[in-house]
Chains A and B, each alone.
Chain A
Amino acid sequence: MDFMVFQYPMITIQACLDGILLGVLFALIAYGMALQWGVMNIINIAQGDLVILGGYIAYFMYLYGIHPAWGVIVSPFIMYFVGVGIYKLVINKVVDRDLFISILATFGISILFMQLMNFAFGADVVLANSGYGTTFLFDNNVVLPNSKIFSAVVSIIFAICLVIYMKKSKLGRAIRATAQNARAAKILGVDTEKVYAATFGINAALCGVAGALISITFTIHPYMGLPYTIRSFMIVIVAGLGNLPGVAMSGMGLGVFEEFADYLLGTEFRIGSVFLLLVLILVYRRFKLSRKREYLK
């Protein structure tokens, strides 16, 4: 174990800031997952693959000489229709079924997407260069790439817009109503089929934004989706459904946790530590629930 992160205060600050900036991005992906999980009761294993697909859209814009930051606008637009398409083809057949069936279905979509992306874009690791510089803090001891700051700011803007949209717009209200009680909403005239399609589309669009940001900040590759699925799953589990401040907080918490795990245990255990945390939280939750159940008995 390497305790360097605690020995130098500057490294501690660096790790915290890196973690928070990263966490905001995770939270955006997790928010999409929480939304459609809450509304449709579907755990989308293909979440990470939608993210990567969104990243490829930004990357192709970059290849054709358009600044990849525009991908933040274009990618969700395209991804919305991809999401609606997936809903119409597959998800609408599993939406009222057992949770297990939807997991299998989205797992299948995930594999299909990976292979299709590999087939279409090749197996090379790619990235889009934004050309944004670097911000130096604390006498050059803490460095923050502007691309990371950009991605955090864009994530926050999109999250805020979405919250306002869900509160004010007609579709937003319909989505919330369906989430509360699909049957009642249907009786009151809400076209739940449409709501489901829109929800899945919005989720895919959020993944598109996140993907574009990831192609600017990190790298993308057809097989890199799963870690993003796991992270968002974990954030949603911790925060609970329909709890946006919770999603934001647990996203940032996860980001900081990852950074510290990276310093303490080594980069190789970074994703591993997320999995471990997930297991611990699930066990803890079960433990708490079983105690509650006993108490009720």
Chain B
Amino acid sequence: MKINKIIVSFISALAILLSTSVVSFAKVVGDKIVLGAAISLTGKYSSNGVHTQNGYNLAVERINSMGGVKVGGKTYKFDIIYYDDESNPKRAAQLAERLISQDGVEFMLGPYSSGLTKAIAPVTEKYGVPMVEANGASRSLFTKGYKYLFAVLAPANLYLDVAIDLAVEKNNGKPVRIAQAFEQDAFSQDVRLGILEAAKRTKSEIIIDDKLPKELNDMAATLVKVKQMKPDVLVVSGHTKGALTAIRQIAEMKVDVPMLAMTHCDAAKLSKQHGKNSQYALCASQWHKSLTYKDKFFGTGMKYAADFEKKFKYDPPYQSAESSAALLVFKDAFERANSFDKKKVRDALAATNMQTFYGNIKFAPGGQNVDKPMVLFQVMCDDSGKCENKVVAPTKWASAKLIHPIPSWSKR
């Protein structure tokens, strides 16, 4: 009996030892470079989590089929270990820990959302694991002095400040009166900071400054104030529910405002859910398929969109495009570093200067991408009620002319 017990415990100890020693070499196994990612496949971020995963997968497939990554004269293929973080920051941090210390991953891809990226970044930093993330735009990520965090997207404070500049330009360079309503999460508050800076720069006045709760589904009070005070611009940022609620209530309450600027329009599928009511809304976007950036893997944005649609049966939101770009950045960095040493790869990442279908990528010392401006598109509908997003700013990429001011509801 006793001997039996000893044998069992010996075998299980051996098994544990073996399993850990096998996986601890998992960063590069055979001809595979193994990347790790904790992604929200369930929970409140699951739809955007899936967009992120689809973006990663498409890029892995494309890079592998086009020759993979060449390091030290040998060709490697990408592989990703995914875990579901359940949209929960604590879980995401645990999973990052597990990916690195148990699965032996030495290169990470980011999760979805600023909040989760914030939870993971201290872990990757502690282990010195380079992480290229594509879905955490909060400015606070880039002010903490992280050395191993690289974001292919523009920081959140640049999302909507272009809209204020645009409004001032349309007002013949004179300051404008701004009404704003922001959710109280890290991302939206960063967007707000951007607006405050733009207001200061253009000497514009903020006449309504409302905060939205995370369980928002009624913002009538803000809109009544807007009706009464008649600002020149209304800025709303509260993820998809903010965008949907704003459009629904603006249409129902017939609120007339010359310019309406928002975030998360394409994630909210505004034009699909609201049709013509969403017309003329200005939306901040990291990427739009009509932009003319190019690379040799995906070609242009249009081609990327077509390939994506063919595989996943829906139009790619920018969350997918930026996620695909993250893989292109990793490939480029590995080849330039010509090594799998974490430190060398990190330095190569820091020196990235490339163009992808998603935009130019060049990292500031804080890790944010400084070489890619945000674009603003406007929802435009034809008479049959079919709506499309057209880029209107910056002028370099514009595919349509901004409609300003928004026609009043009585004339629609």
Footprint of B on A, CB under 8 Å? 4, 8, 10-11, 14-15, 18, 22, 115, 118-119, 122-127, 129, 134, 136, 143, 145, 147, 214, 218-224, 226-227, 259, 262-263, 266-272
The 7 nearest A-B residue pairs measured at CB: A145-B252, A268-B211, A218-B217, A125-B241, A262-B221, A123-B46, A143-B253
Other contacts beyond A125-B268, A143-B253, A268-B210: 8, CB < 8 A:
A4-B225, A118-B42, A122-B47, A145-B253, A219-B248, A267-B181, A267-B219, A272-B213
Seen from chain B, the residues whose Cβ lies within 8 Å of a Cβ on chain A are 42-47, 87, 181, 184, 210-213, 215-222, 224-225, 227-228, 239-241, 244-245, 248-249, 252-254, 268-269, 273-275, 277
* Chain A, Cβ-Cβ closest to B223: A143
A219 vs B249: C-alpha distance when bound (angstroms): 11
Say yes or no: A219-B245 contact (C-beta < 8 A), given A123-B45, A267-B219: yes
Question: Of all chain B residues, which has the CB nearest A220?
Answer: B217
Chain B residues in 8 Å Cβ range of A222:
44
Interface pairs (23), CB distance under 8 Å: A8-B228, A15-B221, A15-B224, A123-B45, A123-B87, A125-B240, A129-B248, A134-B252, A145-B252, A145-B253, A218-B218, A219-B217, A219-B241, A221-B44, A221-B241, A224-B217, A259-B220, A259-B221, A262-B220, A266-B211, A268-B184, A269-B213, A271-B213
How many whole Å from B319's CB to the nearest CB in chain A? Answer: 13
CA A266 to CA B46, docked complex, whole Å: 30
Cα distance A15–B240 in the bound complex, in angstroms: 25
CB B226 to nearest CB in A, in angstroms, measures: 12
Q: Closest chain B residue to A18 by CB distance?
A: B220
Decide: B248 and A266 in contact? CB cutoff 8 A.
no
Q: Are B210 and A124 in contact (CB under 8 A)?
A: no
Given known A11-B224, A118-B46, A129-B274, contact A266–B210 (CB-CB < 8 A) = yes
How far is the CB of A12 from the nearest CB of chain B, in Å?
11
A224 with B215: CB separation less than 8 A: yes
Per the bound structure, the CA–CA distance linking A14 and B249 in Å amounts to 14
Query: Nearest-CB distance from B98 to chain A (Å)?
Result: 22
Q: Are A143 and B254 in contact (CB under 8 A)?
A: yes
The listed residue (B42, B211, B244, B248) touching A267 by CB distance below 8 A is B211
- CA of A69 to CA of B47 in the docked complex: distance in angstroms? 27
CB contacts (< 8 Å) of B249 on chain A: these are: 145
Contact of B244 among A15, A22, A119, A127 (CB under 8 A): A127
CB contacts (< 8 Å) of A272 on chain B: these are 213
Please, how many angstroms separate the alpha-carbon atoms of A57 and B101 in the complex? 45
CB-defined contacts of B217 to chain A, threshold 8 Å: 214, 218-220, 224
**Cross-chain contact of A223 among B44, B216, B221, B222 (Cβ < 8 A):** B44
Minimum CB–CB distance for A126 against chain B, Å: 7
Question: Contact at A267–B222, with CB atoms within 8 Å?
Answer: yes
Pairwise interchain contact B46-A147, C-beta atoms closer than 8 A:
no
A48 to B244, CA, bound (A): 21
| A270–B214 CA distance with the chains assembled, in angstroms | 11
Q: What residues on B are CB-neighbors of A127 within 8 Å?
A: 244, 248, 273
Minimum CB–CB distance from A210 to chain B (whole Å) comes to 13
Residues of A within 8 A of B268 (CB): 124-125
